[in-house]
Structure 1
Amino acid sequence: MDAILGQVLRNAVWERLDVLSELANRADASSLLSVARSEIPRLTAGWRTLLTAHEPDERGNCPQCSTRLRQRKAPCAVWRSAYEHLVAGGLAPRPARHLRPAQALRRAAPVP
């Protein structure tokens, strides 16, 4: 049952992200303004909740990413991703390497 619920939740989140991307790419200015006013506060609240859960503890470890056997030092992958997308990603976003077509990777110029 947990696997089914997890899949339903993941699908719902991916679908919502698809809808927002579609609106950002195709909506008119007044629709974009309406979406921005409703969605930006929700998205920032979601990021804040996620980042709060990944705040380092007194030893500098991420409590969510750490296990009993392996401690993960901050900044964890969640904080690095937040920085990349919210701060450093002010330029045009670049698709992740694993999402780029394999053919495009093969055509990349070699590094001298």
Structure 2
Amino acid sequence: MDQILGKVLRDAVWERLDMLADLATRADAQSLVSVARSELPRLTEGWRAMLEKHEPDERGDCPTCSTRWHRCKAPCSVWQVAHEHLVAGGLAPQRDLRRAARRSSAAVPTQTRSAEATGRHALIPQVATH
């Protein structure tokens, strides 16, 4: 049951991102301003909430990515991706955000995805995702 719910949640998020990406490229100026005013605050709050969970602890470890047996030093992969996409801008990989074709195919485990599929830039050292 958890797998089904997880898939429903993931699909809903991907669909929302696809819709926003489509709006960004196809909407007229007035619609784009309206969408930006409503969606940018939601997106920034979402990033903030996610990044707060990955703030380093007093030892410099990411409490979310670390496990009992393996500590993940900050910055974890979540912070690296945030930096790539929110700060680095032009260095971030260019991807087609419409993933409908990929979603219809068999799911690929995270650890086997390529750097492009996971949004990682080749110049940024890879950190294991936990």
5 Å-filtered alignment, 1:1-112, equals: 1-89=1-89, 91=90, 93-95=92-94, 97-99=115-117
Amino-acid identity (%): 65
CA distance in 1 between partners of 2:58 and 2:94 (Å): 35
Aligned residues: 98
Q: Which has the higher contact order (CA 8 A, sep 6+)?
A: 2
**Normalising to structure 2: TM-score of the pair?**
0.72
Residues 55 and 92 of structure 1, relative CA distance in 2, 3 Å threshold: closer
Q: Which of these two proteins has the greater Rg computed from alpha carbons?
A: 1
Q: Which runs of 5+ in 2 are unaligned?
A: 96-114, 118-130
Residues 30 and 92 of structure 1, relative CA distance in 2, 3 Å threshold: farther
Residues 69 and 93 of structure 1, relative CA distance in 2, 3 Å threshold: closer
Residues 15 and 33 of structure 1, relative CA distance in 2, 3 Å threshold: same
SS at match of 1:70: coil
Q: Which runs of 5+ in 1 are unaligned?
A: 100-112
Residues 92 and 35 of structure 1, relative CA distance in 2, 3 Å threshold: farther
CA distance in 1 between partners of 2:51 and 2:14 (Å): 20
Higher share of residues assigned helix: 1
